[in-house]
Structure 1
Amino acid sequence: MAFFLLTLGTVSFVAGIALAFNICGAAAAAARYAAANAELAMHARGDLSTPKRVMSKQVYRYLGAVTALAGLVLTLGGLLELAF
Structure 2
Amino acid sequence: MSTAAVLLTMGLTCALSGGWVALNVRGSAASLERWADSNAELRMHARGELGPAQRRLSARLYRLAGTVIALCGCVFVLGGLLEAA
Shift of 1:48: 0.8
Where does structure 1 differ by over 6 angstroms across 4 or more consecutive aligned residues? Answer: none
Structure 2: gaps of 5 or more residues: none
1:43 aligns with 2:38: no
Percent of aligned positions that are identical: 48
Q: Give the aligned partner of residue 64 of structure 1.
A: 66
Hey, what does 2:29 align to over in structure 1? 27
Offset of residue 50 of structure 1:
0.5
> Please, what is the CA RMSD of the aligned residues?
0.6
Per the normalisation by structure 2, the TM-score is: 0.95
What's the offset of the Cα at 1:60? 0.4
> For this pair of structures, how many residues does the alignment match?
83
Q: Distance in 2 between matches of 1:29 and 1:80?
A: 36
Deviation at 1:72, TM superposition (A): 0.4
